[in-house]
Amino acid sequence: MEADRLLIRVAGGDHMAFEELYALVSGPVFGLVKRVVRDPAQSEEVAQEVLLELWRSAARFDPGRGSALSWILTLAHRRAVDRVRSARAAGEREQREALRAGTPAFDHVAEEVEAGLEREWVRRCLDRLTALQRESVTLAYYDGYTYREVAERLSLPLGTVKTRMRDGLTRLRECLGGVA
Amino acid sequence: MSLLDRLRGRADLHSLAAPYALDALEGNERARFEKHLAGCERCAADVRALSEDAVRLAWSTAAPAPAALRDRVLTAVRTTPQEPARARENRLPPHVWGTQPPPARSRAPRPRPLFVPFATATAAAALVVAALFAVQANRSEQQLAAERDRAREIAHVLAAPDARAATGRDAEGRTIGVIASASEGRAVVTLNGYDDLPGDRVHQLWLMRPQAQPLSLGLLDDDTPFVANGLDRAATSLAVTVEPDGGSAQPTTQPVVQLALESVGFGE
């Protein structure tokens, strides 16, 4: 894979390789971060942090253990989730007030991402999950909720949520598997 | 703890693999699970597979990054040192790396942008911003808010039409960087390499003016860009001295580094 080759060169301090890697992954990184964090300015901050971290820590990538793109997106997701959680913790009071006032605390505004083939494909596969599998997976991955919060929101026992998450991911694998 | 309890605890831990792959564990649980992962090859493989599945969910989210982000990142990268290749003795799967505090923030000495003479304020701006973001981990919300405020102040200086950058270097290669706007009377000041002070000593920043006593601008933290306000146009230079904790009313030692402000539009 292109990203793997580039990331290895980046680890050796190759600036040209980093520019190429940037061109390749900045869209996926920024888009994912923005999907989770939502606020554009904060998304940009987190994306910048992640992209710089790729440069600093490229040597930590071990090609024997997965693809570079997965590694990069896993990192981006983790940083985005951490950011959105600390923002939520800070804004908890405002949220409670917003709830009392009857306005939704988080609006699930559809993202204006260009509809690409991949997007359609993921949506199609998500549609094939059961409602609880889908909700469990997407509340966690796209909205950054912990499985405890997911359980609370869906009024499900913790064990059920954990199982739905695993089943959901496994079914996604079967559905999306061929496209990589 | 009985064997049964231990087995039960383990099964319980293992059921966290999917939430972990989705980043849906709280901090403490995450740490506990990672500890478990480090000693459980089978779990690590399971988590690896589940994480690959979770990443597929990211395929649909790609969106073009703002052009300004590219400039900032590529500029910052030019002056950001890399972490050396590390021994891979730790057995955590690669995605777990993302969960640990970023290396730059804790284990390795924090890489600092190396101040070099800048052609433009934009390049310097990217560095300051990069330095700012690099220290944000593990801060309280209050500290983050303070940093955001400072980031805004810094952005304000950088956005001034007459913002210019200069760097001073002492005999030992340590540097002071400044981005200043004479029209705003403000400057962003960064020290590099001066972090070896004993606990009861601080770096104090002074504004030197003709026919006047040095004016204290405040205390400097080696890691943090400092925003100095109220610089008058007649100012000739900035100076840094080592002072007792809390700072002094007037310098009590010779400056460790000094930077002329003429090149950034002062000294009329």
Domain boundaries, chain A: 1-113, 114-180
pLDDT the model gives residue A52: 95
Gap from B232 CA to chain A (nearest CA, Å): 33
The helix/strand/coil state of B248 is coil
Of A32, A86, A146, the CB nearest to B26: A146
Q: Is A118 on the interface with B (CB under 8 A)?
A: yes
* Helix-, strand-, coil-residue percentages of chain A, each rounded to 5: 75, 0, 25
Q: What is the pLDDT of residue B80?
A: 84
Q: What is the pLDDT of residues B29-52, one digit of tens each?
A: 999 999 888 888 888 889 988 998
CB A176 within 8 A of CB A130: no
A1-113 against A114-180: fold identical = no
The CATH label, of 1.10.10.10, 3.30.1330.10, 2.40.40.20, 1.20.1260.10, for the domain at A114-180 is 1.10.10.10
Q: Of A135, A149, A2, which Cα lies nearest the Cα of A63?
A: A2
Select from A166, A170, A172 the residue whose CB has the most chain B CBs within 10 Å, as the one to mutate to test that interface. Answer: A166
Chain B residues closer than 8 Å to A176 by CB: 53, 56, 59
- Cβ contacts below 8 Å, chain A against chain B, sum to 223
A28 touches chain B (CB under 8 A): yes
Backbone phi, then psi, for B57, in 5-degree steps? -65, -20
Tens of pLDDT, residues A20-76? 999 999 999 999 999 999 999 999 999 999 999 999 999 989 887 788 988 999 999
The backbone region for B242, taken as left when phi is positive above 0, alpha when psi lies in -120 to 50, beta otherwise, is beta
pLDDT at B13 over 70: yes
Closest CB to A30 among B18, B23, B69: B69
Q: Which CATH number fits domain B121-264: 3.40.50.300, 3.40.50.720, 3.40.50.2300, 2.60.40.10?
A: 2.60.40.10
* A155 compared with B14, residue with greater pLDDT: A155
C-alpha–C-alpha distance, residues B167 and B58, integer Å: 42
Task: Specify the higher pLDDT residue, A55 or A104.
Answer: A55
Measure the CA angle with vertex A24, ends A22 and A28; round to 5°. 95
Check whether B90 has a pLDDT greater than 60.
Answer: no
Bridge partners for B203 per DSSP: B220, B242
Q: Give, as one character, the DSSP assignment of residue A74.
A: H
The more confidently predicted of residues B253 and B108 is B253
A116, B62 contact by CB (below 8 A): yes
Asked if A137 contacts B22 with a C-beta cutoff of 8 angstroms, the reply is yes
In the prediction, which pLDDT does B139 show? Answer: 54
Which tens digit of pLDDT belongs to each residue from B96-153? 444 433 333 333 333 333 332 333 334 444 444 444 444 444 456 666 677 667 777 7
- Between residues 91 and 110 of chain A, which touch chain B (CB distance below 8 Å)? none
DSSP 8-state secondary structure symbol assigned to residue B57? G
pLDDT at B117: 30
10 Å Cβ neighbour count for B103? 19
Other C-beta atoms closer than 10 Å to the C-beta of B36 total 18
Q: Does A3 touch chain B (CB under 8 A)?
A: no
CATH number for B3-61 (one of 1.20.120, 3.40.50, 1.10.30, 1.10.10): it is 1.10.10
Inter-helix orientation angle A147-154/A131-141, to 10°: 140
CB within 8 Å: B60 and A70: no
CB contact under 8 A, A28 and B56: no
Report the C-alpha gap between A155 and A138 in whole angstroms: 16
Indicate the domain borders of chain B: 3-61, 121-264
- CATH architecture, range A1-113: Orthogonal Bundle (1.10)
A76 contact residues in B (CB cutoff 8 A): 58
Q: How many residues does chain A have?
A: 180
